[in-house]
Amino acid sequence: MYESPLGLSCVFRRGQLEEESMRKTIDSSGSASSREPQNWHAIDWHLVERFVRTTQQRIAKATQEKDWRRVKALQRSLNHSFSARALAVRRVTENQGKRTAGVDRQLWDSPALKWAAIGRLKQQRGYKAKPLRRVYIPKSNGKERPLGIPTMFDRAMQALHLLSLEPVAETTSDPNSYGFRKHRLNRTGFGGG
Protein backbone atom coordinates (compact mmCIF):
# COMPACT_ATOMS: atom_id res chain seq x y z
CA MET A 1 0.00 0.00 0.00
CA TYR A 2 1.38 3.40 -1.02
CA GLU A 3 0.21 6.50 0.86
CA SER A 4 0.47 9.77 -1.08
CA PRO A 5 1.08 13.16 0.58
CA LEU A 6 -2.62 14.03 0.18
CA GLY A 7 -3.75 10.87 1.95
CA LEU A 8 -4.72 8.99 -1.23
CA SER A 9 -3.57 5.41 -1.32
CA CYS A 10 -2.75 3.01 -4.11
CA VAL A 11 -2.51 -0.75 -3.91
CA PHE A 12 -0.02 -2.76 -5.93
CA ARG A 13 -1.50 -6.18 -6.73
CA ARG A 14 -0.42 -8.76 -9.28
CA GLY A 15 1.84 -6.24 -10.99
CA GLN A 16 -1.06 -3.86 -11.39
CA LEU A 17 -1.32 -0.42 -9.84
CA GLU A 18 -4.98 -0.03 -8.95
CA GLU A 19 -6.67 3.28 -8.44
CA GLU A 20 -8.04 3.00 -4.99
CA SER A 21 -8.88 6.69 -5.22
CA MET A 22 -11.68 5.74 -7.60
CA ARG A 23 -13.34 3.22 -5.34
CA LYS A 24 -15.69 3.86 -2.50
CA THR A 25 -14.50 2.45 0.77
CA ILE A 26 -16.02 2.08 4.19
CA ASP A 27 -14.35 4.27 6.78
CA SER A 28 -14.24 3.66 10.54
CA SER A 29 -17.59 5.38 11.11
CA GLY A 30 -19.31 2.86 8.82
CA SER A 31 -20.30 5.32 6.08
CA ALA A 32 -19.09 5.10 2.51
CA SER A 33 -16.61 7.79 1.57
CA SER A 34 -15.23 8.49 -1.85
CA ARG A 35 -11.47 8.83 -2.05
CA GLU A 36 -11.69 10.62 -5.38
CA PRO A 37 -10.42 14.21 -5.14
CA GLN A 38 -13.21 16.74 -4.68
CA ASN A 39 -11.77 19.58 -6.78
CA TRP A 40 -9.06 20.41 -9.34
CA HIS A 41 -6.46 21.50 -6.78
CA ALA A 42 -6.85 18.32 -4.70
CA ILE A 43 -5.59 16.07 -7.53
CA ASP A 44 -2.27 14.37 -6.79
CA TRP A 45 -0.64 14.76 -10.21
CA HIS A 46 2.30 12.53 -9.33
CA LEU A 47 -0.11 9.68 -8.61
CA VAL A 48 -2.16 10.39 -11.75
CA GLU A 49 0.89 10.40 -14.04
CA ARG A 50 2.27 7.24 -12.44
CA PHE A 51 -1.01 5.37 -12.93
CA VAL A 52 -1.24 6.42 -16.60
CA ARG A 53 2.43 5.57 -17.24
CA THR A 54 2.07 2.14 -15.60
CA THR A 55 -1.03 1.33 -17.64
CA GLN A 56 0.69 2.49 -20.82
CA GLN A 57 3.62 0.18 -20.04
CA ARG A 58 1.20 -2.70 -19.58
CA ILE A 59 -0.44 -1.87 -22.94
CA ALA A 60 2.98 -1.84 -24.63
CA LYS A 61 3.91 -5.18 -23.06
CA ALA A 62 0.61 -6.76 -24.16
CA THR A 63 1.22 -5.38 -27.66
CA GLN A 64 4.68 -6.97 -27.78
CA GLU A 65 3.12 -10.28 -26.73
CA LYS A 66 0.39 -9.76 -29.38
CA ASP A 67 -2.29 -10.27 -26.74
CA TRP A 68 -4.83 -8.03 -28.50
CA ARG A 69 -7.70 -8.89 -26.17
CA ARG A 70 -5.70 -7.64 -23.19
CA VAL A 71 -4.57 -4.56 -25.17
CA LYS A 72 -8.18 -3.65 -25.89
CA ALA A 73 -9.24 -4.24 -22.28
CA LEU A 74 -6.36 -2.14 -20.93
CA GLN A 75 -7.07 0.66 -23.41
CA ARG A 76 -10.72 0.70 -22.41
CA SER A 77 -9.89 0.78 -18.70
CA LEU A 78 -7.38 3.59 -19.27
CA ASN A 79 -9.89 5.65 -21.29
CA HIS A 80 -12.50 5.31 -18.55
CA SER A 81 -10.15 5.98 -15.62
CA PHE A 82 -10.28 9.21 -13.66
CA SER A 83 -6.50 9.61 -13.98
CA ALA A 84 -6.48 9.53 -17.79
CA ARG A 85 -9.39 11.97 -18.02
CA ALA A 86 -7.73 14.36 -15.58
CA LEU A 87 -4.41 14.17 -17.42
CA ALA A 88 -6.11 14.78 -20.78
CA VAL A 89 -7.82 17.90 -19.45
CA ARG A 90 -4.54 19.08 -17.93
CA ARG A 91 -2.66 18.65 -21.22
CA VAL A 92 -5.30 20.64 -23.09
CA THR A 93 -5.60 23.45 -20.54
CA GLU A 94 -1.93 23.94 -19.71
CA ASN A 95 -0.41 24.31 -23.16
CA GLN A 96 0.14 27.15 -25.62
CA GLY A 97 -3.31 26.84 -27.24
CA LYS A 98 -5.25 27.09 -23.98
CA ARG A 99 -6.51 30.59 -24.82
CA THR A 100 -7.84 29.60 -28.26
CA ALA A 101 -11.51 28.62 -28.34
CA GLY A 102 -13.24 26.48 -30.93
CA VAL A 103 -16.62 27.04 -32.61
CA ASP A 104 -18.42 26.83 -29.24
CA ARG A 105 -16.28 29.73 -27.89
CA GLN A 106 -15.68 27.91 -24.60
CA LEU A 107 -12.42 28.06 -22.68
CA TRP A 108 -11.58 25.99 -19.62
CA ASP A 109 -9.69 28.69 -17.77
CA SER A 110 -10.89 28.19 -14.19
CA PRO A 111 -10.40 25.21 -11.86
CA ALA A 112 -14.19 24.71 -11.66
CA LEU A 113 -14.48 24.46 -15.46
CA LYS A 114 -11.53 22.05 -15.61
CA TRP A 115 -13.14 19.89 -12.92
CA ALA A 116 -16.45 19.88 -14.82
CA ALA A 117 -14.59 18.89 -18.01
CA ILE A 118 -13.22 15.78 -16.30
CA GLY A 119 -16.79 14.76 -15.55
CA ARG A 120 -17.95 15.51 -19.10
CA LEU A 121 -15.25 13.24 -20.55
CA LYS A 122 -16.92 10.33 -18.76
CA GLN A 123 -19.77 10.24 -21.30
CA GLN A 124 -18.08 8.82 -24.40
CA ARG A 125 -21.02 6.92 -25.91
CA GLY A 126 -22.47 8.70 -28.92
CA TYR A 127 -19.58 11.18 -29.06
CA LYS A 128 -19.42 13.22 -32.25
CA ALA A 129 -16.84 15.93 -32.83
CA LYS A 130 -18.02 19.47 -33.49
CA PRO A 131 -16.90 21.30 -36.64
CA LEU A 132 -13.55 23.06 -36.65
CA ARG A 133 -13.28 26.82 -36.34
CA ARG A 134 -11.50 28.08 -39.46
CA VAL A 135 -8.86 30.77 -38.96
CA TYR A 136 -6.53 32.13 -41.62
CA ILE A 137 -2.89 32.69 -40.70
CA PRO A 138 -0.65 34.99 -42.78
CA LYS A 139 2.29 33.36 -44.56
CA SER A 140 5.67 34.96 -45.29
CA ASN A 141 4.79 35.49 -48.99
CA GLY A 142 1.73 37.62 -48.13
CA LYS A 143 -0.89 34.91 -48.67
CA GLU A 144 -2.88 33.21 -45.93
CA ARG A 145 -3.16 29.57 -44.97
CA PRO A 146 -6.17 27.99 -43.27
CA LEU A 147 -6.04 26.51 -39.78
CA GLY A 148 -8.78 24.41 -38.17
CA ILE A 149 -9.21 24.84 -34.40
CA PRO A 150 -11.19 22.13 -32.54
CA THR A 151 -13.24 22.81 -29.42
CA MET A 152 -11.69 22.26 -25.99
CA PHE A 153 -13.84 19.15 -25.49
CA ASP A 154 -12.69 17.65 -28.81
CA ARG A 155 -9.05 18.38 -27.95
CA ALA A 156 -9.46 16.72 -24.55
CA MET A 157 -11.11 13.67 -26.16
CA GLN A 158 -8.22 13.42 -28.64
CA ALA A 159 -5.69 13.68 -25.81
CA LEU A 160 -7.57 11.01 -23.84
CA HIS A 161 -7.54 8.52 -26.71
CA LEU A 162 -3.93 9.37 -27.54
CA LEU A 163 -2.93 8.16 -24.07
CA SER A 164 -4.16 4.65 -24.91
CA LEU A 165 -3.19 4.54 -28.60
CA GLU A 166 0.35 5.84 -28.26
CA PRO A 167 1.86 2.73 -26.60
CA VAL A 168 0.55 0.52 -29.41
CA ALA A 169 1.80 2.89 -32.11
CA GLU A 170 5.26 3.16 -30.56
CA THR A 171 5.55 -0.60 -30.02
CA THR A 172 4.49 -1.59 -33.54
CA SER A 173 6.25 1.21 -35.45
CA ASP A 174 9.55 1.05 -37.29
CA PRO A 175 12.49 1.01 -34.82
CA ASN A 176 14.65 3.02 -37.24
CA SER A 177 12.15 5.87 -37.70
CA TYR A 178 13.06 9.00 -35.75
CA GLY A 179 11.02 11.87 -37.23
CA PHE A 180 7.86 13.13 -35.53
CA ARG A 181 7.99 10.57 -32.73
CA LYS A 182 7.74 11.19 -29.04
CA HIS A 183 11.01 10.87 -27.07
CA ARG A 184 13.05 10.54 -30.29
CA LEU A 185 15.17 13.10 -32.05
CA ASN A 186 15.62 13.10 -35.83
CA ARG A 187 19.36 13.79 -35.41
CA THR A 188 19.71 10.54 -33.43
CA GLY A 189 19.06 8.63 -36.66
CA PHE A 190 22.13 10.27 -38.24
CA GLY A 191 24.39 9.19 -35.39
CA GLY A 192 24.23 12.59 -33.66
CA GLY A 193 23.45 13.23 -30.04
CA-to-CA distance for 26 and 152, rounded, in angstroms?
37
CA-to-CA distance for 162 and 149, rounded, in angstroms?
18
Confidence band of 107 (pLDDT split at 50, 70, 90): very high
Confidence band of 101 (pLDDT split at 50, 70, 90): confident
pLDDT of residue 63: 95
For the chain, percent of residues with pLDDT exceeding 90 = 58
Which long-range contacts link 154-157 to residues 24+ away (Cβ below 8 Å)? 154/102, 154/129, 154/130, 155/92, 155/97, 155/102, 156/88, 156/89, 156/92, 156/117, 156/121, 157/88, 157/121, 157/124, 157/127, 157/129
CA-to-CA distance for 5 and 179, rounded, in angstroms?
39
Statement: residue 32 has pLDDT above 80? no
Confidence band of 34 (pLDDT split at 50, 70, 90): low
CA-to-CA distance for 160 and 122, rounded, in angstroms?
11
Q: Under 8 Å CB-to-CB from 188, ≥6 apart: which residues?
A: 178
pLDDT of residue 24: 40
Residue 5 and residue 44 in contact, taking contact as beta carbons nearer than 8 Å: yes
Of 127, 125, 53, 119, residue with least CA distance to 86: 119
Output the CA torsion 64→67→73→78 (10° steps).
-10
The per-residue pLDDT for range 123-164, each reduced to its tens digit, is 878 889 999 999 999 999 999 999 999 999 999 999 999 999
Domain of residue 138: give its range: 2-190
Number of structural domains (the chain) is 1
pLDDT of residue 124: 78
